[in-house]
């Protein structure tokens, strides 16, 4: 069992007391954190497992890895392909037609590309909803990252029952694989693509499998209008009326939610993935994050896909979450730095149904990131490490990433991934994808 002693760093624990421990230490044994020590305890600590590898974090920050609570990883292949469009035009005219030409290997390499990007910016867990999910799971298993995965399901068109069957098979095959790093959910896309009868079938399958749900919800004004015109209910009210929230549910976006909708989300213990960057770029709006937090809704942060963001940098999402709500509310205290960091760590872990990560605590899974700090111009003079992470840090400051007790990235070098090959293969696959799509368009 591999062991590490990370010492001399400033620990931003995100534990229930939100302790920040200068000069602290963390003992990792196997997949888990064995000890979290303050400076005094670290100075006298001598019971590290013989042979433990020492990681000197002097002048650095150690914090939980970020949790990307919503995304579509393989859409890195579509980065900058369809910009500056509203959501429905972006989907119907550009993205969905291209997705019709996707092949499994495209999704595999696109997911690996996203994992490169996420690890380099400190993300250790990501939630994903897409197609060819066996390939996504294979990429997660090989790379060492943690994934909360589901096959996205549309309940209209040809053979929606096939999508339910594929989802069931995926959950049965992959849940708990990759040394426990892979967990599975069911993924009905949205109320406007999944009619009530289909959502009821999804709920029946959920009860059979006992897994959570992921769904896009109340993302746009159009979606709200559609649901009210079609069902005389808001999207949140519609899904609640179908009893879907009786299952543990992660709802992505929740931009256009009323006070009554928020009451439902809180009462039904629905988790929310807030995606500020994507919502801004697609002009979907700004979710009422402070009101949801005040109501007790568990909220995490997500990047959404790289085609609507256009990056997977959780540090950018943390900063946006801290800034945009101040500007909208004209209240500089609307989302403090500490709250923004919670959304990406302990809050994000809770949002994706992982209570065993998201903080540096004894017994928790060893998912952590080390940031360069002292001697970094844009982080100097080091007044407040939490504020420095939220308002000033960038991916270039990531020094080491550990998931499940394994070092996946150190000094910009990956331990399990061939970065050069992934970049080559994704460019090759993207060119072939565009060629196939163009051929279909001409036919």
Q: How many residues does the chain have?
A: 443
Same domain, 177 and 85: yes
The rounded distance, in Å, linking the Cα atoms of 105 and 111 is 10
Same domain, 281 and 220: yes
CATH of the domain at 337: 3.20.20.140
Same domain, 376 and 327: no
Domain boundary among 351, 377, 400: 351
b/e map of 270-284 (b: 16 or more CB within 10 Å)? bbbbbbbbbbebbeb
Same domain, 10 and 145: no
Same domain, 270 and 404: no
Centre a 10 Å sphere on the Cβ of residue 196 and count the other Cβ atoms it contains: 16
Which residue shows structure tokens 């119907």?
92
Same domain, 137 and 162: yes
Report the side by side order of strands in the sheet with 299-301: 213-217, 249-253, 271-274, 299-301
The rounded distance, in Å, linking the Cα atoms of 276 and 287 is 8
The rounded distance, in Å, linking the Cα atoms of 3 and 356 is 19
- Our measurement of the distance from residue 325's CA atom to the centroid of its chain's CA atoms, rounded to an integer in Å, reads 20
Tokens, residue 252: 């992505």
pTM, two decimal places: 0.96
From the list 72, 79, 81, 156, the residue with the least C-alpha distance to 438 is 81
Same domain, 341 and 375: no
Flag whether 435 is in a domain.
no
Flag whether 39 is in a domain.
yes
Flag whether 443 is in a domain.
no
At residue 43, the pLDDT reads 84
Same domain, 180 and 314: yes
Which residue shows structure tokens 């994000």?
348
Q: Is 410 exposed, middle or buried (0-12, 13-18, 19+ CB in 10 A)?
A: middle
Flag whether 322 is in a domain.
yes
From the list 318, 299, 357, 416, the residue with the least C-alpha distance to 65 is 357
For 102, what's the count of Cα atoms within 13 Å in the CB-facing half-sphere?
24
Same domain, 318 and 402: no
3-state secondary structure of 1: coil
Tokens, residue 38: 């303050």
Helix (H) or strand (E) holding 34: strand 32-37
Q: Are 338 and 347 in contact (CB under 8 A)?
A: no
The rounded distance, in Å, linking the Cα atoms of 161 and 217 is 22
Number of domains in the chain: 2
At residue 2, the pLDDT reads 92
Flag whether 38 is in a domain.
yes
At residue 209, the pLDDT reads 98
- Our measurement of the distance from residue 417's CA atom to the centroid of its chain's CA atoms, rounded to an integer in Å, reads 20
| pLDDT by residue, tens only, the chain of 443 residues | 799 999 999 999 999 999 999 999 999 999 999 999 999 999 877 666 678 999 999 999 999 999 999 999 999 999 999 888 888 888 888 888 888 999 999 999 999 999 999 999 999 999 999 999 999 999 999 999 999 999 999 999 888 999 999 999 999 999 999 999 999 999 999 999 999 999 999 999 999 999 999 999 999 999 999 999 999 999 999 999 999 999 999 999 999 999 999 999 999 999 999 999 999 999 999 999 999 999 999 999 999 999 999 999 999 999 999 999 999 999 999 999 999 999 999 999 999 999 999 999 999 999 999 999 999 999 999 999 999 999 999 999 999 999 999 999 999 999 999 999 999 999 999 999 999 888 777 76
Supply the range of the domain harboring residue 41: 3-64+360-411
Same domain, 55 and 137: no
Domain boundary among 351, 369, 396: 351
The rounded distance, in Å, linking the Cα atoms of 353 and 350 is 5
From the list 282, 278, 251, the residue with the least C-alpha distance to 264 is 251
Give bridge partners of residue 407 from the DSSP assignment.
402
Domain boundary among 303, 326, 351: 351
Q: 220: which residues sit within 8 A by CB, 6+ positions away?
A: 86, 87, 88, 255, 256, 284, 285
Tokens, residue 183: 């967990």
Same domain, 99 and 179: yes
Q: Are 273 and 304 in contact (CB under 8 A)?
A: no
Flag whether 113 is in a domain.
yes
First-last CA distance in the chain? 57
Q: Is 80 exposed, middle or buried (0-12, 13-18, 19+ CB in 10 A)?
A: exposed
The rounded distance, in Å, linking the Cα atoms of 319 and 379 is 15
Helix (H) or strand (E) holding 273: strand 271-274
Q: What is the dihedral of CA 317, 321, 327, 332, to 10 degrees?
A: -130
Q: 312: which residues sit within 8 A by CB, 6+ positions away?
A: 68, 71, 73, 76, 114, 117, 118, 121, 123, 303, 306
Same domain, 196 and 77: yes
Flag whether 427 is in a domain.
no
Flag whether 431 is in a domain.
no
């Amino acid at each position: 069992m591999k062991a590490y002693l990370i010492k001399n760093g400033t620990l931003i624990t995100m534990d229930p007391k939100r302790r920040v421990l200068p000069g602290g230490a963390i003992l990792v044994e196997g997949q888990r954190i064995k000890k979290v020590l303050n400076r005094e305890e670290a100075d006298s600590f001598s019971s590290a497992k013989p042979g433990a590898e020492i990681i000197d974090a002097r002048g650095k920050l150690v914090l939980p890895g970020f949790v990307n609570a919503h995304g579509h990883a393989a859409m890195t292949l579509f980065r900058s392909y369809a910009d500056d469009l509203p959501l429905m035009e972006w989907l119907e005219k550009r993205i969905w037609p291209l997705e019709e030409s996707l092949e499994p290997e495209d999704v595999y390499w696109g997911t690996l590309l996203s994992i490169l990007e996420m690890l380099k910016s400190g993300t250790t867990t990501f939630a994903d909803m897409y197609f060819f999910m066996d390939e996504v799971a294979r990429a997660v298993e090989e790379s060492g990252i943690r994934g909360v995965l589901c096959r996205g399901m549309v309940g209209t068109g040809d053979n929606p029952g096939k999508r339910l069957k594929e989802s069931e098979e995926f959950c049965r095959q992959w849940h708990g694989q990759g040394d426990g790093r892979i967990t599975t959910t069911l993924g009905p896309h949205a109320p406007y693509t999944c009619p009530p009868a289909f959502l009821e079938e999804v709920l029946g399958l959920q009860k059979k499998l006992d897994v959570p749900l992921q769904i896009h919800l109340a993302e746009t004004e159009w979606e709200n209008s559609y649901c009210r015109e079609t069902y005389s209910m808001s999207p949140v009210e519609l899904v609640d009326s179908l009893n879907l929230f009786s299952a543990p549910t992660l709802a992505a976006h929740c931009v256009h939610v009323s006070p009554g909708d928020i009451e439902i989300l809180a009462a039904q213990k629905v988790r929310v993935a807030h995606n500020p960057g994507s919502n801004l770029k697609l002009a979907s709006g700004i979710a009422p994050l402070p009101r949801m937090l005040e109501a007790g809704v568990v909220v995490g942060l997500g990047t959404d896909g790289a085609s609507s963001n256009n990056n997977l940098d959780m540090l950018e999402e943390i900063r946006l979450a801290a800034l945009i709500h101040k500007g909208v509310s004209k209240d500089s205290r609307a989302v403090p730095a500490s709250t923004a960091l919670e959304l990406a760590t302990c809050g994000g872990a809770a949002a994706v149904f992982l209570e065993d990560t998201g903080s540096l605590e004894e017994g928790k899974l060893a998912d952590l990131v080390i940031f360069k700090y002292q001697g970094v111009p844009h982080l100097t003079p080091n007044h407040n490490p939490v504020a420095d992470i939220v308002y000033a840090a960038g991916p270039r400051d990531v020094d080491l990433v550990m998931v499940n007790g394994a070092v996946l990235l150190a000094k910009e070098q990956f331990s399990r991934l061939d970065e050069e090959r992934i970049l080559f293969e994704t460019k090759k696959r993207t060119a072939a994808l565009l060629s196939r799509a163009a051929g279909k368009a001409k036919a």
